[in-house]
Every structure is written in C-alpha cells, then in structure tokens.
A and B are shown apart, each in its own frame.
Chain A
Amino acid sequence: MNPDDLKYHKEHTWVKVSNRKTVIGITHYAQEALGDIVYIDLPEVDINIEVNSEIGEIESTKATSSIISPVSGRVIEVNEELSGAPEIVNEDPYGKGWIAIIEIDDITELDDLMDASEYEKYVEEEAK
C-alpha cells in the first residue's frame, strides 16, 4: 500500500528522492485519518524549511492538521493544483497529491526516516 521507493516521517509525511530534489507529500494513512480534505495551506516557494517543522496546514471536514516537513531545505515548487482541488490528496496521496518539491541541504538526514515496512509497523503501533 505504501510505495517502497519512498521514505516516511513519523508525522505521516513521505519523501521521494531524486538527486537533491525531493518530492514530499502526506501518507495514505494521514489522508484517511483526516477524511475529506477541504483546504491545504501550502508553503511559500523559495523559503527555507527545517525538518520536523510545520510547513503548512491541512483542513479536512473534521480536523485541521499541520504538515510536518520530513526534510530540511529550500522549497522550489509547490503543487498549485491543490489550492483549487485539495481532494486530490485524498484520491492520490503518493501521486498527483504531492505537496512540494524541496531542494534538500543534507542527504544524510534521510537516514533518519523510515522505509515502507517500518512505517507500516509504526502505523499499526500507533493505531493500537
């Protein structure tokens, strides 16, 4: 269910690495827990963000939740499509529902993240 080529953060965000540019988004588990997403406050392009810090917020019909960055770096692109159609994140959290592209500072930071199977176990634990 959670793609194997991604890395996962405990605040339910994911990272896909290609060179120094990483795509980030929220996980299937996160979108399901949130329910119908009605608004996504995206980070601004060109700002620097820190790992574990809030870079945006998601509002669903039942909750609001911070988007916690899984990496540190500079925001080079955000998924503008989400401003008009935030439900894309519900429909395709690992694909069209990506949130931002970050140029990361320190590639070793990724070592702290979980792989798909670790994340699945983590989610199971959290659900208990």
Chain B
Amino acid sequence: MKLAILGAGPGGYVAAIKAAQLGAQVTIIEEGEVGGTCLNWGCIPTKSFVASIELLAKARRLEEFGIELKGEIVPSISKIIERKNKIVITQIKGIKGLFKSWGITLKKGRGFLVSPKEIVVTSKNGSQEKVEADTIIIATGSRPAQIPLFPFDGKKILSSDDALNLDIPKSLLIIGAGAIGCEFACIYKELGSEVSIVEMLPRAIATEDLEISELFERELKKKNIKLYTNVKVEKIDVRNDGIHAFLSDRREILAEKILVSIGRAFNSDNIGLEVIGINKGNHGEIIVNEKLETTIPGVYAIGDVIGGFLLAHVASREGITAARNVMGGDEKIDYRSVPAAIFTSPEIASVGLREHQALEEGIKVKTGHFQFRALSKSHALGEITGFVKVVSDKASDRILGVHIIGPHASEIIHEGALAIKTGLKTRDIIETIHVHPTLSEVLMEAAGDVHGGAIHVPKR
C-alpha cells in the first residue's frame, strides 16, 4: 500500500506513523514545519508560555509559601519566546526522528491533488515533483479566521500566530472570548498588559457549561480583565494614540494592539479538491463519511479541515482511524467522549454533555458539584479556586458529562472521558478509591454529590 498524506500536523503525522506501523509505504507532504499548527503555532508554544506565566504568578506569591525573595521578579518576553522556540525545535526533531525510524518519506513543499492518486508537490524554489499513491489522506488543517473589515497585519491587528512572537503591549484588545482569546488574555495580563475582551455571544467560553462560564468570568474580573459580552467591534480606527475600536453598543475601547481570535478557517482551498471533485461543506470543510473517506473513494480527510472539534487530539485520533481504514479496517470514532481543555488560569476542561445540552435533548439529569477549596490538597498547593460538575442520567446514573474549572483540570478530565467512553455510572467513580491527598479527589466527591453523599460538604 502506497499512502500519501497531505499535511504533517497532529493529524497527518500520527496517520503516517500508524500507517507505517501497519505496513504502508508512506510519503508525507508538508509546506511548513512538521507538527502543524499544534506544534508551531498552537498547543505547544502557548503551553510553554503558560508554563512561564504560571511560574511567574507563583513567584509573585513566594512570601505566601514561606520563601523570601531578595530582589525583583522580572519576566523577559524575549527569553520566554526563546524557551518556547527551543521546545518547538526539539519536538520537530522528535517527529522527524520518528519518520526516519518508520521509513516515512517527508517531502517539503505545497501539495496539490491532480488526481485521486497523484499529488504534485511544489517546493519553495519552484521545483515540482509528482507523488503517486494508492490512497491519499488530506490533513491540511486550519488557520486563524480574520475579520474582513480589518484583516491581520501582523503588527497592530494580530492573529494568534502573531501573538506568539510579540513584545508585551501596554494594552491589548482581544476580539473573541473563546479558548484561544481567553488563553492569551490570561497570558498577557500576567505579563503586565491591560487586557479587554469583546465577545459577540452572551458569555465567555460559550461552548462550555454555563456554570463554568460564570466562574471563569468572575476570575477574569478578579484579574482585572475587562469582558464585554453581547457586543461586536464594528469599526476600528488606527490613530497616533493607538487603535480605537468602536463597539456595537456605542462604547469605544482604546488599545495598542488587537488580537483577533474569532475562530478558524479551513485550509481547503488551492489543494486541488475541485479538480478531483471532493465535496466541501458551507464553511469550506471537507465532507467525509464515518470512515473518514471523502466523496472520492480512496481519498480520506482528517483533522481540522473536516470541521467538528478542531482539536489536535481529535485530529490525531482521526489520523489513527483513517490509517487503519486505509489498511483495510472498518472503524469509526466515538465523538461523545472527546475531552477538551482550555489552558487559562484557572484551567478549564470538559467532556460529554453540558447540562443545558442534556436538557435540550430531553434527557433528565442529576448534577453533582464539588469545590476545589474543600480539598486539603488544593490548600497545600495554594490553588483553591474552581469546581467540578458531574452531569449524570437520572434514570441510569450513567455519567453524561464532566466539567472542570480549576487547577490541573486538563489532567483530571480523563477519568471523566474514560467514564463516558465505557458507560460508567457515578457509583463506579464513588466506589473507586482515589489517592489522598490529590486534586483528583474532586471528581470522586462531585460524583458523590450527585447523590448528596459527598463527604467534605456540610449538611444541606
């Protein structure tokens, strides 16, 4: 089996390795750097920033932890970026090393499908080469979406890509209070920028459970990050004193820079889809069936470019499934148990149904809550903000959703993902002994609270 993969992000590179493991002869084509958005512009760079920022925030509390500081704490953005770059380069080398060990051929250049079995690769210097394959997987990903009225200029109007290599602005206006906008809001606020966020929807991180948004909005307030909801930026005016943003409610915000984080656009143009007749949806996403095959047999598509979750780990999972299907498998993905995390401070993570979704679907639910501040480990760590919410089916006691805001939410969520994937009940979590003292105890207690049986909650 000769397999060609277009795009070496977390979808494409994982598909390449899995297919090679299963015996395929794999060629992978990448215009930029391997690792895609995730490694070069997304997950990894931002999390390396977040690590610096968390340390900075903790360092500012040294006294509280009984440590005396003789001197000053001064973050250096250039060194934070330098560290980030080093991490990214190491990971790029890691992926290339894996390609080598599995005998995967990496072709640098832009790929264009000229037939369902041929991709023409144009390198930076203009030279062209044809890659022939029995099967093709398209994994071209997405890019930051822009606002037509004021497109990115990389200097004053920034995309999330630009925001990774920035001097600390005095003031930053973020358009869009989704995951990306809120992560950068926390990062730049800690670095000293004055941050405001404008959101069209009624609440920040509107994709999450309502109660999670409520608490997060209060945390923004505590940090002195201004959030304007139910409002749009209608016009901007770049003047000597900065950018004036005019909102739909007649308010005006003055900022040195604007970060636009309103969503992602699919990379489905100019790769030959029209030439071979692959169907796209209304937003440009490639349409695939449950097996991740496009409307052209033998051509698969995975990751951001097929829409849906737009998460690196979903792309990777799709990469594995597509690789297996290419090699004769007949698999589909269970999307009900996809966990997601937002690396704000505090962290947010969720899996499964939000309470309002369950209600919309007509499911009768019970919920349980538990506050991190009721755990001794939270106090020991000095991280007491946040809670866990468990949504369970009233009739069967099965866990339908887990929602976490608080320290290490992104690590704790997997117990919830496993519970939903395997159809566990809250009783199963309650009966599972959790290590004391850990933050993971929150989920056990929140599951207990579904039945009014959490231990560290006063009688109601």
Contact = CB atoms under 8 A, between A and B. Distances in A.
Interface stretch (B7-15, B371-379, B396-404): B371-379
A41 B221 contact: yes
Interface in A32-66: 38-39, 41, 57, 59-64
Interface residues of B, number: 9
Contact of B373 (A41, A57, A63): A63
B218 A41 contact: yes
A41 B218 CA distance: 8
Contact of B371 (A41, A57, A63): A63
Interface string B207-225: 0000000000010011000
Q: How large, as a class, is the contact surface on chain A?
A: 10 to 19
Contacts of A38: 384
Interface string A20-40: 000000000000000000110
B94 to A, nearest CB: 42
Nearest to B371: A64
A41 to B, nearest CB: 6
Interface in B325-380: 371, 373-374, 379
A38 B384 CA distance: 10
B218 A62 contact: no
A34 to B, nearest CB: 11
A119 to B, nearest CB: 20
A126 to B, nearest CB: 11
Contacts of B384: 38, 61
B218 A57 contact: yes
A62 B221 contact: no
Given A61-B379, A61-B384, A39 B222 contact: yes
Contacts of A39: 222
Nearest to B217: A41
Interface of B: 218, 221-222, 371, 373-374, 379, 384-385
Please name the 10 residue pairs, one residue from A and one from B, whose CB atoms are nearest each other, closest first: A41-B218, A62-B373, A61-B373, A61-B384, A39-B222, A62-B374, A64-B371, A63-B373, A41-B221, A61-B379
14 contacts: A38-B384, A39-B222, A41-B218, A41-B221, A57-B218, A59-B373, A60-B373, A61-B373, A61-B384, A62-B373, A62-B374, A63-B371, A63-B373, A64-B371
